[in-house]
Chain A
Amino acid sequence: MNSQSAPGPVDFDLSRGRVDRRVDAGAKGAHDEQVVLVPVSSLAGLEKLAGLELTRQFARSIGVSVGRRVAAKLGSADGVAKATMESFVSALAGEIAVSGWGALHLERWGRAMVLVVEHAPALPSGAFAALLEGAVEAAAAREVHAVALAGATPASGGGTTARVLIASKKSAEHARRWLVEGAGEAEVIKRLHDESKQNGGAA
């Protein structure tokens, strides 16, 4: 660490050749984490080398690391659950942006939560869903399942846009099936709400 510069979220120690991702000063139960810079092209070809499941696990592990930092930033998993949506989105978007995964924001479609990452690197389909799934699960300490609604579509300012639905395991399975059948994003969300009503869920 360069003593002459103020500490930042990423510390490049050139004398030792080390890059650290630092946690905030108020974060509880977290400590600095060493990171490496990996070319996106290497990650893009990982699916062909290791397969889809390993690629998703690899991306999910990255997301878990992000979620832990968010939980540490917000205090704990309980703090994440009690935090406002703006606070949680700001903490999660900050970690995503520092790691170079793009600009994140949250959309609420009725009762469904959709995380949108713009200017994201071109990753294999489902990689971003796995990354965000691991981040939310680690931050909230809840089992969640993420479904890539529209995949990684090219964005106007460069990169791609990934839209990810956060749902339960059952709903995620239904959504994936409907998407394979050709249903659109809005139709999938509508069907989820319809099924919830039929099952006696909250309207």
Chain B
Amino acid sequence: MNTNEHVAKLEALLARVNGRRGAPRVPVASDSEPTLYSTREPAHAAVAPPLVHPATPKPAPVEAKPAPITPPPAPVEARLAPTVAKPAPAPPAPPTPKPSPVEARPAPAAAKSPAPPVVEAAARPAAQTSPPPHAVTSTVDVEVEVEEGEAEVDLEGIDEAEGVDALLSDSVADLDQVAGPLEEEVPASSRRPIQLEPPLAERAFSDSAPPPHPVPPESGRQVAVAEFDGDLSGVRSAPAAEPAPPPAAAQAAPAALHAEVTRPAALTEAPAVFRGAAPAFQPATFGELLDATLAL
């Protein structure tokens, strides 16, 4: 929203304030809201039934009540939630095109704004199935109306003697303050993802997260004494089997070992000296062997 739009809105607001200055002072801060919704709801009710999802809770039948309905203290966004969910099959629209019930409201001064007649758009079924091309304009009306409601509340506390400049500055501040939550807060029926993942992720992965619940004790017989002295009864239990060695893959791979080989120096001297030849008896004939064996 640029400055020109702000100025235009403020001028319209100023015109309304000036127009109301002569009117009798009655509290209209919250009582005027039911009137707005009651006039709008029938317009949507004529189109809503075939479009609302069966699981979606239907809005309260406030349309049938001829008397003014006391609106809940919920904010405007929560009140508009069921109606926003109607164009479900339509592609997700940008957060700004929120159909506002106040479009059908015959605003005395804001209706004179250059915005197109949104009442027709809301009454047409086609406008429910697809986002209207002038959704941006409707959004502007919503902001104006909301700001107007806030302004009305503030006007009650404004002294007549205060200047117009102070009023303008407050209105601009209020607009900035109100416009922010309207864009950030998500209706209950919005298809935006619920923003709970960041906190969950933080709880899951952050170190500061509280520790999980302690592991419950194992079922079965609880041993009263950690180590039982078998000498009392003489009964010995079988030795516990050695735990299975971890798989080869799980074992830590040994570091690569390299043998450091130290070899002796080459021998420069003969380790022994051989003298002569060992006596060997190699008989060439049978006679020699016979003589040798007979000589034993």
Q: Chain A: residues with CB nearer than 8 A to chain B?
A: 80-85, 87-89, 108, 110-113, 136, 140, 142, 144, 165-168, 171, 192-193, 195-196, 201-203
Contacts and interface: CB of A to CB of B under 8 A. Distances in A.
B60 interface: no
B286 interface: yes
Nearest to B294: A168
Given A111-B281, A203-B279, A80 B286 contact: yes
Interface in B45-66: none
Output the residue of A83, A84, A89, A111 with the most chain B CB within 10 A: A111
Contacts of A113: 289-290, 292-293
B284 interface: yes
B201 interface: no
Given A112-B296, A196-B295, 8 more contacts: A83-B287, A87-B286, A108-B289, A111-B293, A111-B296, A167-B293, A196-B296, A201-B296
Nearest to A192: B296
Interface residues of B, number: 14
B292 A111 contact: yes
Interface of B: 279, 281, 283-287, 289-290, 292-296
B69 to A, nearest CB: 121
B2 to A, nearest CB: 118
A111 B289 CA distance: 7
Nearest to B284: A84
A41 to B, nearest CB: 34
A80 B293 contact: no
A88 B288 CA distance: 12
A192 B292 CA distance: 12
Contacts of A165: 293
B295 A81 contact: no
B290 A202 contact: no
Nearest to A171: B296
A81 to B, nearest CB: 3
A83 B283 CA distance: 11
A191 B71 CA distance: 134
Minimum-distance CB pairs A-B, first 9: A81-B287, A88-B286, A113-B293, A111-B292, A192-B296, A168-B294, A171-B296, A85-B286, A196-B296
Contacts of A89: 286
A110 B293 CA distance: 9
A203 B292 CA distance: 10
Contacts of A136: 290
Nearest to B287: A81
A85 B294 contact: no
Nearest to B281: A111
B268 to A, nearest CB: 35
A62 B129 CA distance: 133
A95 B14 CA distance: 152
A85 B293 CA distance: 13
A25 B283 CA distance: 29
Contacts of A142: 290, 294
